[in-house]
């Protein structure tokens, strides 16, 4: 029973807080990324908490002249609760089921940049849908970088049960082999966010899937 997500169908996509204002000129956009690169699919950022999916996603969207959305934010809008509250009140299974439905609705929207939660790509159905409708980008970061970044916030449900470094090391071991299935891999280290965005754009421009129109049933 997914009480927190009742009415999600009407709410998803209504929020404009996370949309990037992209009023740059055509010449500015051409200078910002490889000549002729226009994504035909939504760019879906995946990776562990602290990898920079939201921060990089906003900048990537601005550089490409695309809207931006964050699945965690949209889940909170749909549920009327924070991620932390959903985990505490309903458990991870309820959260993941709602997350799957929210991401499906976001992927049905016009091409944009979508930042997902750390566990979203672990779900086989969500991963399949991303493969059909989007182009996935794994923002890969090492343990030290992740620990440094997550220490700035204390509202990560999966880090409530112990030492952040230990938990993240376990998540790296469990999740990295799945993240490695992403269409594009981009290192997100200690350098500037803009440098990471530039690497992402170059990698996407070299990825044929990024300019292949989305399919509804599979890549065939």
| 40 domain residue, yes or no | yes
| 132 domain residue, yes or no | yes
pLDDT in tens, 98-130: 999 999 999 999 999 999 999 999 999 999 999
| 147 domain residue, yes or no | yes
Q: What is the pLDDT of residue 203?
A: 95
Q: How far is the C-alpha of 14 from the C-alpha of 172, rounded, in Å?
A: 34
pLDDT in tens, 9-44: 344 334 333 333 333 333 444 444 566 689 999 999
Q: What is the pLDDT of residue 93?
A: 87
Q: Note the residue count of the chain.
A: 220
| 117 domain residue, yes or no | yes
pLDDT in tens, 154-206: 656 555 566 788 889 999 999 999 999 999 999 998 788 999 999 999 999 99
| 130 domain residue, yes or no | yes
Q: How far is the C-alpha of 16 from the C-alpha of 186, rounded, in Å?
A: 27
Structurally, the chain folds into a number of domains equal to: 1
Q: How far is the C-alpha of 87 from the C-alpha of 158, rounded, in Å?
A: 9
| 1 domain residue, yes or no | no
Q: How far is the C-alpha of 204 from the C-alpha of 197, rounded, in Å?
A: 10
- Domain of 152, CATH number, reads 3.40.50.300
Q: What is the pLDDT of residue 29?
A: 41
| 200 domain residue, yes or no | yes
Alpha helix positions (H), 139-212: 143-150, 164-179, 193-205
Average pLDDT, the chain: 82
pLDDT in tens, 132-158: 999 999 999 999 999 888 876 665 655
| 14 domain residue, yes or no | no
Phi, psi of 218 (to 5 degrees): 155, 175
Residue 39: give the domain boundaries: 35-211
């Amino acid at each position: 029973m997914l009480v927190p997500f009742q009415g999600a169908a009407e709410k998803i996509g209504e929020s404009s807080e996370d949309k990037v204002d992209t009023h740059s000129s055509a010449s500015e956009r051409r200078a910002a990324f490889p000549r002729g690169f226009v994504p035909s699919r939504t760019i879906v950022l995946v990776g562990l908490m602290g990898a920079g999916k939201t921060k990089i996603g906003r900048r990537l969207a601005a550089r490409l002249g695309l809207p931006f959305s964050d699945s965690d934010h949209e889940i909170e809008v749909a549920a009327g609760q924070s991620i932390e509250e959903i985990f505490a009140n309903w458990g991870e299974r309820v959260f993941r089921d709602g997350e799957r439905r929210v991401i499906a609705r976001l992927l049905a929207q016009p091409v944009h940049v979508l930042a997902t939660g750390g566990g979203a790509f672990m779900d086989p159905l969500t991963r399949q849908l991303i493969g059909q409708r989007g182009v996935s980008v794994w923002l890969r970061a090492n343990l030290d970088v992740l620990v440094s970044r997550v220490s700035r916030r204390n509202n990560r449900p999966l880090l409530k049960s112990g030492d952040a470094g230990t938990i993240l090391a376990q998540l790296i071991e469990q999740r990295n082999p799945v993240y490695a299935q992403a269409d594009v891999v981009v290192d997100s280290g200690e350098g500037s966010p803009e440098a990471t965005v530039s690497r992402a754009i170059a990698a996407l421009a070299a990825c044929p899937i990024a300019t292949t129109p989305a399919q509804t049933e599979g890549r065939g």
